[in-house]
Structure 1
Amino acid sequence: MVTDRRPGPGGPAPDGADARDARDAPAARPYRDVSLWLDQVADDGDRLEPRPGLDRATDADVVVVGGGLTGLWTAYYLTAADPTLDVLVVEQEVVGFGASGRNGGWCSALFPTSAAGLARRHGTPAALAMRAAMRATLDEVERVVAVEDLRCDLVRGGTVTLARTTPQLARARAEAAEAERWGDRLDLLGAEDARRRLAGRGTLGGTWTPDCLRVQPARLVRGLARVVERRGARVAERTRAVEVAPGRVVVEHAGRRADVRARWVVRATEAWTARLPGTRRAVAPVYSLMVATEPLPEDVWEGIGLAEAETFSDHRHLVVYGQRTADGRLAFGGRGAPYHWGSAIRPGSDREPTVFAALERTLRDLLPQLGAARVTHRWGGPLGIARDWHASVGADPRGLAWAGGYVGDGVATTNLAGRTLADLVTGRDTALTRLPWVGHRSRPWEPEPLRWLGINAGLRAAALADVEERLTDRPSAVARVMAPLTGH
């Protein structure tokens, strides 16, 4: 699923240059075309019309930059902690335009740094606390969804991860044994039990964990925005932050710039952090793409499985992920799209035909029961990767807080981030503010061309590792070399 994309004939842009990217923003493109999920919320009756933008100076107690799940969970918990707070959320497009409206719909207890990696960096007690916090986050998301009546197709089906080669089966066994050490439940499945959950071609076994919720992410984030507005928070859309600093944000709407002053600024911009002055190398925007089939008939589902709405993957190195949607589709995605020179984020990068074709081949190889089922939706978008694969949340006492670097494991982690940011901003010392990711600082990514070369080499290495294992039926030597570079 890796394609070799080099800088265009005009040559690469200077490192961090993104003026052209900003002009390429999809102002005229219908937002429902961004993903299956936003297409579905449009069918729900949400017209996806932007809320009024902000084109004049204003003050707030807290201004949150980014109208995705991180920003909106932060606003939600801030207004719960202190209903008198004036909270303003500014979003460059519309709520859910970024990863929060495009992801695979796994609200899981996964964290991008492994528990063993956390223990090496922060100590075993801290790693245990982080794992417990991630598991508890799923309960909290379920609670809020129920209390606020957020109709987002939330089901706790867990995750089934198939092993389809001997090396994958060895990894499944090792991960199941390791999970117990950290308080995680990860059941090792024999071939029959694994196929009962998901009848993937060539299944030798697998694992299953209860710690994942299937969700329609755009319904979640759009519903959450309506809740925070009812609580008194302001949400301004089509309002792009062009400068973010402690206590101050400069925004632009309809060609006009304005200052927003606040006691606290919360940067919740994930992959788009790479577009902001001063943080261009804080995260690398790396694309993940998805496809979705038409709704499948029940007899096809009987042959596939996923009867409990499990999310699914397999134990390959180049990540793939999927879910059975509430309307009976298979939504399936994977890494492998190229990183673009200079951390560029452009609409055209959401759609890589060669990657879509590879995803569809992978899905049909995994589940030949699909037969001639049509793929009706194709989409993608960038996720944020910190240099050490370590998500972080924190607050500078001068008035700037942040969260991000989720490496695609963000749907649940954003909730934990929102609760933690609310505690940090309101000055509370809690168990959340003592978790090991609080205050963590990842070193910046290398300048170009090293960044472009390194990230794309890593993507190629993951794909090569899978080919190596299929050919040799032995654990990949390439993967062994790469593991320390990804927080594992």
Structure 2
Amino acid sequence: MHGAMQRGGVSFWYQELGGLPKPRPALDRSVSADICIIGAGYTGLWAAYYLKKADPSLNIVIVEEHFAGFGASGRNGGWLSGNFAWEHEKYLSSGTAEQVKAMVEAFHGTVDEVIAAAEMEGINADIHRTQELAIATNAYQFQCLAPELKRLHHWGDHRSRLESEAQLRARIAIPSAKGALVTSGVARVQPAKLVRGLADAVARLGVTIYEATRAHEISKGQVITHKGRVACAVVLKATEGYSAQLPGYERDWLPLNSAQIVTEPLPLELWRDIGWSGAELIGDMAHAYCYCQRTADGRIAVGGRGLPYLLNSKIQPDGRPTAGTISQLRGILARLFPAATHVPLAHAWQGVLGVPRDWCATVGLDPETKIGWAGGYVGVGLTSANLAGRTLRDLVLSEPTALTELPWVNRAVRAWEREPLRWMAVRGLYAMLKAADRAEANGKAHAPHLARLGAWIKSQ
């Protein structure tokens, strides 16, 4: 895509596919099903996929307000990482240390699981096995590398190692880089291709996906939409960042904005200057971190939080990032890849991800109401949703397995504060984290104190 930068509507990933997909029919009457899933993103689609594979006789319907893959599933950074992105210690309230380590291992294995499923279903999603580089771009970040590696090893994550400044510069030219935490066993994907391929695979299995159908009430045994009622034995809420729009769930997970920009394709001479020939997933050790990928057609995509949260959990329907957010992301591009500073931008967009009050993901099924849920992934949904889908399968089928014993299952999390307290808390948190990053970049002595204060705000 060449010419003026596009902003909003859908992600670049969909623009690459030719724009919005042709919609499936909406629900036009009341129906019955064994299982009704709300939301046709990765979580809902993976749950349907594994349930139907396990028991083809199940009558499963999915109701989706927009189209399959409209939300974060088609807007994310394309990191198939298998990372455990939450505080391990918080899961000790619902499991043992060995169970937390088992959960870490389960997430690692999810990368291979997603790739195997994509291959089985013939989904071409530009999947490229690679490594993740968490780059230290200043002295403070560099000091965090060894303790972070030690922490990961303590919890059973042995995929990572340290890389020196010289080793890093041999593979990618980031001028401010001091070293990196390198994680193997990850992959880059084109997220819209993956979610659309998964939706087609689910439909081929016999699952009915009703698009343009908004659920506005759920209760035991039913889902009420604006176009009809679905009577069902099990309801699975797979709305993730959009959960706050469901009555009764407004304070469960707040919708956090994450935005991205993508450049036009870089000339070969610029790629020779930058390196990055292994298509590694690139992030940094900042508190308000960024995430980048080299796309299959030779662009650079850069993502970050931008304007993180809107009052009353408001979601911008058009997905348009603010000019300030785009400017921040341009700044990250220029800082990490100065050779690409003047490459025109092709597209900018944003989406929302779900954040629980303790910033830790959960999956579960209420044995009384038979209402299940999964989400609160805090930005690592591409792999988390797959593991959640397999776990929901086992919970729905009442099959105790190693997955149902993991400590994120049926874990209770308290609700977010009422407004304007949660708006003040989230905006204050990100202001503090960005202030800590600026102080660290400038070598200020008070930088660690700012970082600790930001972490304290987050933990309250």
Say if 1:114 and 1:487, in contact at 8 Å, map to a contact too.
no
Q: Return the alpha-carbon distance in structure 2 between the equivalents of residues 107 and 243 of structure 1.
A: 33
Please list, as runs of the form range in 1=range in 2, the aligned pairs for 1:337-376 lying within 5 A after superposition.
337-347=307-317, 350-376=320-346
In 2, distance between residues paired with 1:129 and 1:119?
A: 12
- Preserved CA contact (<8 Å) 1:283 1:387: yes
Look up the match of 2:11. Answer: 35
- Residue of structure 1 equivalent to 2:253: 283
Deviations 1:208-236 (A, max 9, x none): 10132101110000000100111111011
Q: Which amino acid aligns with 1:359?
A: L
Distance in 1 of aligned mates of 2:457 and 2:108: 25
Please identify, of 368-377 and 346-355, the stretch whose mean Cα deviation from structure 2 is larger. Answer: 346-355
Partners of 2:173 and 2:93 lie apart in 1 by 37
Query: Corresponding residue for 1:199?
Result: 173
Equivalent residue, structure 2, for 1:310:
280
Does residue 128 (structure 1) correspond to residue 101 (structure 2)? The answer is: yes
1:191 and 1:203 in contact (8 A); partners too: yes
Counterpart in the other structure of 2:393: 422
Give the Cα separation in 2 of the matches to 1:274 and 1:215: 28
Aligned with 1:377: secondary structure? strand
1:139 aligns with 2:112: yes
In the alignment, the residues of structure 2 paired with residue 168 and residue 395 of structure 1 have an alpha-carbon distance, to the nearest angstrom, of 40
Match of 2:69 in 1: 96
Query: Where does residue 296 of structure 1 map in the other structure?
Result: 266
What's the CA shift for 1:471?
2.4
Q: Secondary structure at the match of 1:156?
A: strand
SS of the residue aligned with 1:38? Answer: helix
Measured in 2, the distance between the counterparts of 1:371 and 1:461 equals: 27
Report if the CA contact (8 A) 2:262-2:300 is conserved. yes
- 1:161 is the counterpart of 2:134: yes
Percent of aligned pairs with the same amino acid: 40
Q: 2:453 is aligned with what amino acid?
A: V
SS in 1 for 2:343: coil
Q: How many residues align?
A: 452
1:476 to 448, 453, 456: 448
2:220 alignment counterpart: 246
- Counterpart Cα distance in 1 of 2:214 and 2:285: 39
TM-score (norm 2): 0.95
C-alpha separation in 2, matches of 1:384 and 1:363: 26
- Distance change >3 Å, CA 487–CA 313, structure 1 → 2: farther
Q: For residues 69-125 of structure 1, what are the alpha-carbon distances to aligned partners after superposition, in whole Å with 9 as ceiling and x for unaligned?
A: 000000100011100001101110011110000000011122331334434763311
Residues 235 and 371 of structure 2 are in contact (CA less than 8 Å); yes or no, is this contact kept in structure 1?
yes
Check conservation: 2:7, 2:348, Cα contact below 8 A.
no
Counterpart Cα distance in 2 of 1:484 and 1:416: 30
Deviation, 1:166, is 0.9
Paired position in structure 2 for 1:223: 197
Moved more, 128-137 or 192-201: 192-201
C-alpha deviation, 1:484, in angstroms? 4.6
Match of 2:17, as an amino acid? V
Gaps of 5+ in 2: 1-5
Give the TM-score, by structure 1 length.
Answer: 0.89
In structure 1, the residue matched to 2:294 is: 324
Match of 1:443 in 2: 414
Shift of 1:483: 2.2
Q: 1:123 to 1:481 in 2, by over 3 A?
A: farther
Distance 2:164 2:83 in 1: 23
Q: Deviations over 1:408-453 (max 9, x none)?
A: 1110000000000011111110000010000012110000110110
The within-5 A match list for 1:78-117 is 78-117=51-90
User: What is the alpha-carbon distance in structure 1 between the residues aligned to residue 167 and residue 114 of structure 2?
Assistant: 29
What is the Cα deviation at residue 200 of structure 1? 1.0
Match of 1:452 among 416, 423, 433: 423
